[in-house]
Structure 1
Amino acid sequence: MAAESDETAGQALVGGMTNAGAVFRHGDLVERPAPSTARALHAHLRALEEQGFDAAPTPVRLTDDGREQLTFIAGDVALPPFPRWVMTESALRSVGSLLRRLHGASRSIEVDTRVEWPRDLADPEGGTMLCHNDVCPDNVVFRDGRAAALIDFDQAAPGRPLWDVAMTARYWVPMVDPVSAAVSYPEGLDAATRLRILADSYGLATEERAELPGVIEQATASCRAFVADRVADGDPVFTQALSDRGGWRRWDRMQGWLVAHREMFTAALLD
């Protein structure tokens, strides 16, 4: 999230959709609505630190009015329409490397199975590792053109590492049709090349590369269902965004584009 203005409540941070207008910076702290999984999530973030992963906020406390405080991570966060600097190949490589670091630390942390983790963007097949599930540009802090930290773990849930890679690819390649990409991304991004760059920088194994295009299609379907649920609940932010971005026709077009180019993406990953 990026700073917008100074208020008596703190400095408003803009970006994202779920907590729009409800996140504030107070000096070295960020205060925001606490997710239902906050206690377990805070324990996970502390465990990441113990594993040597220093690229996520540190939990400070939960407040009596249902909010959480975490350390503020300084740097640059890109908001749509995304500037060209955040979509360079070197920036993409740094995102893949950062995600691999996160997974390397997360694999050693036992997931609390008693917690009702959010299912909105979670891997439908489940898993034994806590995935971030929302590594979009709005949730990556950059310094000097490189991904330095991940923020907003609200959608974290158990899943396969490959699911997290697929979700990340959706936003960073991006794995959307050219008409949809033109709304938020710079011109000239070659999806097949960038998907290979992400897989290489993450260090994706051969068998996972073969699966990735199909998992991206599955992740896109989950994202569509997530939006549909928000719209059905009358969420004004998601309803307006859906209207502004072309409605359900856009989602049909994206899914059709992915299916039509599945073989091209598989070849780019494996050749």
Structure 2
Amino acid sequence: MKQLEGGRTGQIWRNGDTVVRPSGAWTPTVHRFLRHLRRTGFQGAPEPIEISGEGQEVVSYVAGRVCEDLGDPSVGSERMLISAARLLSDFHSASEGFLEVDDEVQTWMLPPREPREIICHGDYAPYNIATVDDEAVGIIDFDTAHPAPHLWDLAYAVYRWAPLSDPANPGVAFSLDEQLRRAQIFCTAYGATAEERRDLPETIRGRLQALVDFMLASAAAGDETFTEDVDAGDARLYLGDITYIGRHRDRLLDALR
């Protein structure tokens, strides 16, 4: 088996055409959801194979290059941005109906958010997108999938892909002007409504606050992954970006119109 790069070093492995990764209490629900995506014809997600008795899940390998660095000319290109937005839109369409047809007890890592319109991915960021020839073609890591409004997922995606993060933060490749332009491009390619665009800034801020709250609670409960994230300063960064987005809210709204 070959260790895959990215988060959770030493825990995610490729074995031929499959990926072996840690499972959680939510994994059975996620696997049912992944089967639902397949039934709707959406091919851009892993196919669930099994959940072992050793705390691991096995899913199909989603081919493509994964890279979170938007400073990479390929990853940060407008072509990639548009394809990522369209892929998210297709995924949201495919996710509709799962809540109505799934009659088993559902367990999710993240708490559901009302209204429960669809199943959101929960972490639609460049590092969870498989790309081929400068286009987004697949989505990986569905641990954070959970029921919520379309806008809840779109908000986090725009935050990550614009990205709407203070340029003073490490690794932020774009100026505010470019971030605003990219946010508008993403929303247009996704097909965001006028109402969604109007509500986007405050929804992004609410989504980030919910993330911080979840991280801090998980770290306090002894979850090593989130403890490491908090110690690394991730929560402080998100709180800073909440302030950053609030400070530039009016300019963001103007750009989105």
- Tell me the TM-score normalised to structure 1 length: 0.86
Which string of whole-angstrom CA distances, capped at 9 and with x for unpartnered residues, describes residues 209-245 of structure 1? 1111110110111122233234324555544544544
- For residue 169 of structure 1, give the secondary structure of its aligned residue in structure 2: helix
Asked if 1 retains the 8 angstrom alpha-carbon contact of 2:119 and 2:145, the reply is yes
CA contact (8 A) 1:209 1:266 kept: yes
Moved more, 98-107 or 186-195: 186-195
Change (3 A) 1:193 1:13: same
| 1:176 positional shift | 1.3
State how far apart, in whole Å, the 2-side matches of 1:239 and 1:31 are.
Answer: 24
Counterparts of 2:94 and 2:193 in 1: how far apart (Å)? 18
Cα shift at 1:49: 1.1
Q: In the alignment, what sits opposite 2:35?
A: 46
Using the size of structure 2 for normalisation, the TM-score is: 0.90
Task: For 1:261 and 1:31, locate their aligned partners in 2 and report how far apart those are by CA, in whole Å.
Answer: 42
The answer to whether the aligner puts 1:104 opposite 2:93 as a matched pair is yes
2:167–2:174 contact (8 Å) kept in structure 1:
no
Moved more, 257-266 or 78-87: 78-87
Q: Quickly say closer, same or farther: Cα 1:56–1:20, change in 2 above 3 A.
A: same
* Aligned position for 1:14: 5
Question: Which residue does the alignment assign to 1:203?
Answer: 191
Q: In 2, are the aligned partners of 1:14 and 1:20 still within 8 Å (CA)?
A: yes
Offset at residue 81 of structure 1 (A): 7.6
Match of 1:184 among 159, 165, 171: 171
- The equivalent residue for 1:6 is none
Cα separation, 2, equivalents of 1:35 and 1:219: 23
Q: Check the 8 A contact 1:15/1:79 in 2, yes or no.
A: no
* Counterparts of residues 1-271 of structure 1 (less than 5 Å): 10-16=1-7, 19-80=8-69, 83-110=72-99, 112=102, 114-119=105-110, 123=113, 125-180=114-169, 183-188=170-175, 190-235=178-223, 237-245=225-233, 248=236, 250-270=237-257
User: Which residue is 1:5 aligned to?
Assistant: none
The answer on whether the counterparts of 1:170 and 1:220 sit within 8 Å (CA) in structure 2 is no
* Equivalenced residues, count: 254
Worse overlay, 102-111 or 157-166: 102-111
Identity of aligned residues (%): 31
SS at match of 1:43: helix
- What do the CA deviations read for 1:153-210 (whole angstroms, capped 9, x no partner)? 1011100011110011121111111112xx1232447111111011001001111111
Where 2:168 maps in the other structure, the secondary structure is helix
CA distance in 2, matches of 1:87, 1:69: 31
Which string of whole-angstrom CA distances, capped at 9 and with x for unpartnered residues, describes residues 102-141 of structure 1?
0111113335473132226x53x34131110111111100
Displacement of 1:87 in angstroms is 1.2
Which letter does structure 2 place at the counterpart of 1:175? L
The runs of 5 or more residues in structure 1 that have no matched partner are 1-9
| DSSP 3-state at the match of 1:31 | strand
Across the aligned residues of Structure 1 and Structure 2, the Cα RMSD in angstroms comes to: 2.1
